[in-house]
Structure 1
Amino acid sequence: MITAVNKRIKVLIVDDSPVAVEVLKRVLASSDEIEVIGTARHGKEALEMIPRLRPGVICTDLHMPLMNGFEFVKEVMARHPLPILVISVSVCEGNDDNVFQLLAAGAIDVFPKPRGVLLGQSAKFSADLIAKIKVLSGVVPFRKIKKHGIAALTPQAHGGMVAIPKPCAENYDVLPHIEALISRLKMIVIGASTGGPQAIETILKELPADFSIPIVCVQHISEGFMASLVDWLKGCCKLNVTIAQNNEKAIAGNIYFAPDNRHLKIDKSGAFVLSNDPPEGGHKPSITLTMRSFTEHYMGGVLGVLLTGMGRDGADGMLAISQAGGATVVQDKESSIVFGMPDQAIKLGAAKYVLDVNKIGRFLAKIECIEKNQAGDNR
């Protein structure tokens, strides 16, 4: 018989503050599902412990002696890919550059650490931290590698199979009925949640500077970080990345993000509408609401892309796109940090193509290239 103890999430804490370590241990000990199996004072010490302890999740501080959090995350992802949660006062709002540098290095998520005596005294802090670790315990770890000079994500082996709908664009150079899609394609809508910033970066950096199809993105992210996410993506993308403005019309060469705490819709004239309607499915902005709105306007001219994330936001939106005659692409299980949202779209029969995240950007670029060739032939 397997006991509950054997199923506990094994956590390694890396922090040079004895007080912080004790508080984190006490908080995590309050959950029957989590076991702290070790602590380290800095990254170098932790790297020596990982092969022996084999943690399921690593919680690390950012500022530490000998090897700081940035260096530690990079080394872990190169040597022993594991889900990493960075807990630090330096990932609070106002330290946004740290957040996206850590995500780019391979951390799955960040968690602001209250200062001083407030650490661990908040019931919300304890509940939120435990919830984060439970989420991370189920994610797919990635190894950061270099391929042709470009950083790529390689999923590590894990169990489980996924029923992939047909046709599946494993070879994205051969796409069934793609000509019919391209002839009416007007807008690409991308939705993502947990792990989304890394996935979106991977996709957008593949798109050429003359990409002619406007893109709208809805990313679930903590309020206050959207502007920094956009600034971060500008540094790796050839296209202009911006936050959508009310009454603005989408133009080619631009990638528009839904702003904090507003739904992004489109009106009959083709202008953006930033709505303050209640959350849909617990989300604001809602991926499904945006996909439905753009489908009502462009009908079969929408290509929907649903990426890594918890829950089911976007699944019903992908179904609306599919039923209207548009195209739908979901990120596959092997490259998803959390497979929840893509999996829900697949189960609804709403996913036409299932692709590794490293192929989705090339898939979009291929479609755009064919569209330009068709336009040239028609002149």
Structure 2
Amino acid sequence: MPLVPINVLLAENSLVTLEILQRILSGSADVKVVGIALNGQQALDLIPSTKPDVICTDLFMERMDGLELTRQVMAKYPRPILVISNAVQGKDTEMIARALQAGAVDVFPKPTTGLPSDYEKVKAALIHKIKVLAGVRVFMKPLRDPIREPIRDPMPKASASLNIPATKHPTATNLTVSVGAIANPSDRLMTQFKVLAIGASTGGPGAFEKILYRLPANFPIPVICAQHISEGFLEGLVNLLDSKCLLKVKIAQVGEFPQAGIIYFAPETQHLELDSHGQFIYSLGAQAREYCPSITMLFKSIARFYGKTCMGVLLTGMGNDGAEGLKAIFDTGGLTIAQDEQSSVIFGMPKEAIALGAAHYVLPLPDIAPFLLTQAQLERPKSPKTDKLR
């Protein structure tokens, strides 16, 4: 139990639902409701005085709805936001995607009956989500965030170059490459790597956006991703990414061969691996039931098939999934990257990978996509230095 309770601000336009939520949250010694609001504007006005650790909001409210409240909060008073709404049931993939895009960390469907007894049944799950969110680091998100728009001119002019600032990341210095000529397909023969694998958990949807939106339409290798996500939510995330990315985004299907120009996601209820021929297969891997889809299982299968021609990236997330998988890629000679602590929502998974010695590079989130472009298009340094956590 925490030394001090988690301060929660509730925004909900139904007085009945508001009373039920107050009662079940106040029944936990770990949570304290410090403010209630009947619409988004009231909630926004209460933040400076109540100083909530977590904000729980409905979506449909008068004066200011939950989506706009989320956008305003992330621009002015960044806090972890949990959307509690009838509009985030598993079938409502578009609304779920819009909530995550606005800056919400997670969503929690209201019981469909609305009965107090049914809220009591989900009490433990709701309080657990709030506890998790209280430990999440969030970042200010300007109301007009240029990162969320795809790069419409993916290939800079011939004289342009991609640079990683030497002052921040000495391990990635001198990795500056002129990319103007790479638009010629024959020049892709220079590519050493054949696949890019990325894994994430808590905070992953936002992290994936900042990487995948920056990949150009002629990115020369397939991208295979695994994201821990609640059942029913993956389709909305994939649809959102597909609408914004210059590459096609889809859920990997059994029997497919990974192809350049496509970003594949593991399904949400099964593990994704490659068979001995390099085709996608689904599995239920008993050794990895705690995390589904398992990032480690995906990374290990990619390491087995692609060896030193694969790149692995482990992003923000709670726990240790992906750490051993990234080490497998490292051990086969592939290139590995872990997101750094300062830019991670939760530094659990990257930290575990770094502790295993699995990361060649530890980079802030904004630097990962430019670095991947240099590595996908030119040969990497023969002896990359390791930026380890100290």
Q: TM-score scaled to structure 1, two decimals?
A: 0.86
* Candidates 112, 129, 132, aligned match of 1:132: 129
Q: Evaluate the alpha carbon distance shift between residue 148 and residue 285 of structure 1 in structure 2; reply closer, same or farther with a 3 A threshold.
A: closer
Deviation at 1:209, TM superposition (A): 0.4
* Candidates 7, 13, 17, aligned match of 1:16: 13
Q: In structure 1, what is the equivalent of residue 24 of structure 2?
A: 27
Q: In structure 2, what is the equivalent of residue 95 of structure 1?
A: 92
Instruction: Provide, for residues 42-97 of structure 1, a one-character-per-residue CA deviation record: whole Å limited to 9, x for no partner.
Output: 11111111111111111111101111001111111111111111100101112111
After TM superposition, the structure 1 = structure 2 runs for residues 219-368 of structure 1, keeping only pairs within 5 Å, are 219-278=227-286, 280-368=288-376
Indicate conservation of the 8 Å contact 2:307/2:329, yes or no: yes
Cα distance in 2, alignment partners of residues 267 and 109 from structure 1:
33
Deviation at 1:12, TM superposition (A): 0.6
Q: In structure 2, what is the equivalent of residue 376 of structure 1?
A: none
**Counterpart amino acid of residue 214 in structure 2:** E
Indicate conservation of the 8 Å contact 1:85/1:111, yes or no: yes
**Counterpart amino acid of residue 205 in structure 1:** Y
Cα distance in 2, alignment partners of residues 98 and 119 from structure 1:
25
Indicate conservation of the 8 Å contact 1:263/1:277, yes or no: yes
Q: Evaluate the alpha carbon distance shift between residue 281 and residue 311 of structure 1 in structure 2; reply closer, same or farther with a 3 A threshold.
A: farther
Cα distance in 2, alignment partners of residues 22 and 6 from structure 1:
26
Partner-residue secondary structure (3-state), 1:65: coil
**Counterpart amino acid of residue 272 in structure 1:** F
Cα distance in 2, alignment partners of residues 21 and 147 from structure 1:
32
Indicate conservation of the 8 Å contact 1:27/1:120, yes or no: no
Q: Evaluate the alpha carbon distance shift between residue 200 and residue 129 of structure 1 in structure 2; reply closer, same or farther with a 3 A threshold.
A: same
* Candidates 53, 58, 83, aligned match of 1:86: 83
Indicate conservation of the 8 Å contact 1:279/1:286, yes or no: no
Q: In structure 2, what is the equivalent of residue 208 of structure 1?
A: 216
Runs (5+) with no aligned partner, structure 2: 150-167, 177-189, 381-390
Indicate conservation of the 8 Å contact 2:193/2:375, yes or no: no
**Counterpart amino acid of residue 243 in structure 2:** G
| % identical equivalent positions | 46
Indicate conservation of the 8 Å contact 1:304/1:328, yes or no: yes
Deviation at 1:188, TM superposition (A): 1.0
Deviation at 1:332, TM superposition (A): 1.5
Indicate conservation of the 8 Å contact 2:223/2:263, yes or no: yes
Runs (5+) with no aligned partner, structure 1: 153-167, 177-181, 373-379
Q: Evaluate the alpha carbon distance shift between residue 70 and residue 122 of structure 1 in structure 2; reply closer, same or farther with a 3 A threshold.
A: closer
Deviation at 1:202, TM superposition (A): 1.1
1:46 equivalenced with 2:54 (yes/no):
no
Indicate conservation of the 8 Å contact 1:286/1:313, yes or no: yes
**Counterpart amino acid of residue 202 in structure 2:** T
Cα distance in 1, alignment partners of residues 116 and 336 from structure 2:
44
Cα distance in 2, alignment partners of residues 174 and 148 from structure 1:
29
Q: In structure 2, what is the equivalent of residue 155 of structure 1?
A: none
Cα distance in 1, alignment partners of residues 117 and 203 from structure 2:
26
After TM superposition, the structure 1 = structure 2 runs for residues 92-131 of structure 1, keeping only pairs within 5 Å, are 92-119=89-116, 121-131=118-128
Deviation at 1:226, TM superposition (A): 2.2
Cα distance in 2, alignment partners of residues 102 and 172 from structure 1:
35
Partner-residue secondary structure (3-state), 2:293: coil
Instruction: Provide, for residues 94-121 of structure 1, a one-character-per-residue CA deviation record: whole Å limited to 9, x for no partner.
Output: 2111111111111111111113443453
